[in-house]
Chains A and B, each alone.
Chain A
Amino acid sequence: DIQMTQSPSFLSASLGNSITITCHASQNIKGWLAWYQQKSGNAPELLIYKASSLQSGVPSRFSGSGSGTDYILTISNLQPEDIATYYCQHYQSFPLTFGSGTKLEIK
């Protein structure tokens, strides 16, 4: 099974700043990576698929990059509505696995 190691677990940043979240796969997932945002009490929402493709309706402040085993989610110009937990997920093969999540707090 492919393991996804996500870091950091917790992140505190100021409005207007940029943050990055990283995800490391235990083997090459060939760009088959998605990022999700989950706000408290809600279902997750897809932000990024195929490592860098922005899901329709998602603000361009969100971007994804990476290849092979290492991937990054960047959120620029942090807004109050970005308070959430973020998850990466590979879909290179079954079983699909998620990272452990990054909880983002606004200072």
Chain B
Amino acid sequence: EVQLVESGGGLVQPGRSMKLSCAASGFTFNNYDMAWVCQAPKKGLEWVATISYDGSSTYYRDSVKGRFTISRDNAKSTLYLQMDSLRSEDTATYYCARRGSSFDYWGQGVMVTVSS
């Protein structure tokens, strides 16, 4: 059974950093591109970033370029999202998703609240 389990969320002050993790199981992690998608409270879905199966290529939405870094450790079957210089508008539930483009499995999501 495919499982994606996010962790690392919580309350953080504006301008600070936070790192999210997504532990994958039930499939061959290094065969798949992976992605992060977020959803602000009561709002719609927004794609954040995608990383290729081997980590060689990464893609970001404009609003996070230069602040967020997607990475992966294939030996640990884990996806990461390093979020720096956080802003109040980054407040959202962050989902990791399998496949980099159309997302066939999603984690349960982790909430990130950016507030002083």
Contact = CB atoms under 8 A, between A and B. Distances in A.
A32 B102 CA distance: 9
Given A43-B106, A43-B108, A91-B101, A97 B44 contact: no
Contacts of A49: 102, 104
A97 B45 CA distance: 8
B95 A89 contact: no
Interface string A63-106: 00000000000000000000000010101001111111100000
A46 B102 contact: yes
Question: On chain B, which size bracket covers the interface?
Answer: 20 to 34
Contacts of A95: 47, 59-62
B103 interface: yes
Question: On chain A, which size bracket covers the interface?
Answer: 20 to 34
A96 B47 contact: yes
Interface in A13-36: 32, 34, 36
A55 B103 CA distance: 11
- A contact patch SS: loop
Nearest to A44: B106
Interface string B46-69: 110010000000011110000000
B107 interface: yes
A46 B108 contact: no
Nearest to B45: A98
Contact of B101 (A44, A45, A96): A96
B13 to A, nearest CB: 27
Given A95-B59, A95-B61, A43 B102 contact: no
Contacts of B107: 43
Interchain residue pairs A-B with the least CB separation, the first 4: A91-B101, A43-B106, A96-B47, A34-B102
